[in-house]
Amino acid sequence: MDNFLEIQRPYIAKGMIRIRHNGKLNYIKTADVVLLESDINYTHIHLKSGKKLLSSRNLSLFEFMLKDTHSFIRPNRRQVVNIDYLTNFSIEKSTKALQLINGLSISISRRKSQKLTKSLKNQL
């Protein structure tokens, strides 16, 4: 993991991440990432173009890499969201959810609800 982070560090400083997908290296602007979604030990990366990449790295690693960008939040155990692509967030008692530009609705876990709501109100 440390080696992977060391390799990523110069790309992150330039606002990019490097992903190996289908045997090729892809250089992606972090601003183009809409959603990162966990699939056991893999991560699906949803881009604003609609393209979806699969990485063999887990979601926690991506969350750690992107923590200093201040554009990414983790509303639940399975997903990390780029707040630049939020269209709406519902904070009603029964359903707390984020609506993304691509139409996906992301649920907010009860444990993270209060902190996330406060953070979103400050940033939006």
pLDDT for 26-64, tens place per residue? 889 999 999 999 999 999 999 999 999 999 989 999 998
48 close to 85: Cβ distance less than 8 angstroms = yes
Domains in the chain: ranges and CATH: 2-123 (2.40.50.1020)
- Report the predicted TM-score, pTM, of the whole model to 2 decimal places: 0.83
**Chain-centroid distance, C-alpha 111:** 18
41 close to 58: Cβ distance less than 8 angstroms = yes
Residue whose tokens read 């639940």: 76
pLDDT for 65-111, tens place per residue? 888 877 899 999 999 999 999 988 777 777 788 889 888 888 888 88
pLDDT of residue 47: 96
- Tell me the C-alpha distance between 83 and 71, whole Å: 6
Query: Per this entry, what is the length of the chain?
Result: 124
- Tell me the C-alpha distance between 43 and 59, whole Å: 6
21 strand-pairing partners: 24
pLDDT for 82-94, tens place per residue? 999 998 877 777 7
- Tell me the C-alpha distance between 107 and 88, whole Å: 12
**Chain-centroid distance, C-alpha 10:** 19
pLDDT of residue 11: 67
